[in-house]
Amino acid sequence: MAEPTDDERWFEVLTGRAEASEDPEAAALRKSILAREQRDEADTQSDQLALRRLMARLEKEELLEAKPVAPSRTRWYALAASVVLAALLVPAVIQMTPDSLDGTDPGEVWRGIVEPQELTVADPEAISAELENDLTALGISVQRYEYEGRWIVDAETTPAERDAVAPLLDALGATLPYDGRVLLAFAVP
């Protein structure tokens, strides 16, 4: 059988399968590891004893039972302040839209429905057809239809087309909204 290498001999002493005299360094390390293990076991036992003492004291002082805690006055004041702040800020934030900043009004928006700009003219059908032709000549896709006795013109414009569309709407007394959507309702006076 071959002679064991230094590493093999060291591991044999460390595991306790060989005599400590073969490698005193490994024997000292083994002794240190065993002493540490004994200390850890003693610490675990003392920790468990300390935990039992703590639990007994908590039970004695009735601190382990869950009792409902009433909110403090500070929490009620904080809740009231939050409600007041929300009531004041929400309307202000709603009013801070781009249409209120640049002076144009795209119409009332309610649940995603945009109300058209109302224009009163002598001949709604002819004027809406003329606007439809002008917008189509600019390459804009237009929908024109009659609804509840009014002629509606609906078109989406790109930023590049808006400079050409604005004068057409100005001539009719309408404004181009900030989003570029042309939505006009022509009616008889």
- pLDDT tens, 141-170? 999 999 888 999 999 998 888 889 989 999
Q: Is residue 176 situated within a structural domain?
A: yes
Q: Is residue 13 situated within a structural domain?
A: yes
Mean pLDDT over residues 78-101, rounded?
A: 76
Answer yes or no: do 178 and 117 share one domain. Answer: yes
Answer yes or no: do 116 and 182 share one domain. Answer: yes
pLDDT tens figures, 27-79 = 888 888 888 888 888 778 888 888 888 888 888 887 777 666 676 788 888 88
Q: Is residue 68 situated within a structural domain?
A: no
Q: How many domains does the chain have?
A: 2
Q: Which of 14-23, 60-69, 128-137 has the lowest mean pLDDT?
A: 60-69
Please provide the average confidence, as pLDDT, over all residues in the chain. 82
- Residue 28: which domain range? 6-59
Asked whether residue 102 carries a pLDDT value surpassing 50, the answer given is: no
- In order, the DSSP letters of the chain are -PPPPHHHHHHHHHHTSS-GGG-HHHHHHHHHHHHHHHHHHHHHHHHHHHHHHHHHHHHHTT-SS----PPPHHHHHHHHHHHHHHHHHHHHHHH--HHHHHS-----EETTEEPPEEEE-S-HHHHHHHHHHHHHHTT--EEEEEETTEEEEEEE--TTTHHHHHHHHHHHT----TT-EEEEEEE--
| pTM, 2 dp | 0.41
Q: Is residue 163 situated within a structural domain?
A: yes
